Amino acid sequence: NAGVTQTPKFQVLKTGQSMTLQCAQDMNHNSMYWYRQDPGMGLRLIYYSASEGTTDKGEVPNGYNVSRLNKREFSLRLESAAPSQTSVYFCASMRERGYSYEQYFGPGTRLTVT
């Protein structure tokens, strides 16, 4: 049971380049999330997916796209990276059974855009 996995762990991009952050969970959770974490600003929700086939915008969706490929996988894409997207990105899934709503987080991806 690996929990929530993210790849890559580190990435450096140049302005204008694109990339996809991958996330997978093996806990059979319906809901999955993408956050970014910046100093002094906590975790800000980018997008979430309440179930396979659905996605919704969070607090800071501009500049990002997501795909809920199947129940296990939820990817985040930066089409044209900007320095303002330098951040640590976390993927999470949510346990809903028993109305727990506990989130399980991946280890994070540190992204630097130069």
Partner 1 sequence: AQTVTQSQPEMSVQEAETVTLSCTYDTSESDYYLFWYKQPPSRQMILVIRQEAYKQQNATENRFSVNFQKAAKSFSLKISDSQLGDAAMYFCAYRSPNNNDMRFGAGTRLTVKP
Strand (E) or helix (H) holding 90:
strand 87-95
Cis check: omega of the bond before 107, within 30 degrees of 0: no
The window from 11-19, 61-69, 70-78, 99-107 that contacts partner 1 (CB under 8 A) reads: 99-107
Restricting to residues 31-70, which ones interact with partner 1 according to CB under 8 A? 31, 33, 35, 40-45, 48, 50, 56, 58-59
CB 101 within 8 A of CB 2: no
17: left (phi over 0), alpha (psi -120 to 50) or beta: beta
Residue placing its CB nearer to partner 1 in the complex, 17 or 103: 103
| One residue of 23, 76, 92, 113 binding partner 1 per CB under 8 A | 92
Closest approach, Cβ 56 to partner 1, in A, equals 7
Interface residues with partner 1 (CB under 8 A) are 31, 33, 35, 40-45, 48, 50, 56, 58-59, 88, 90, 92, 94, 96, 99-103, 105, 107-108
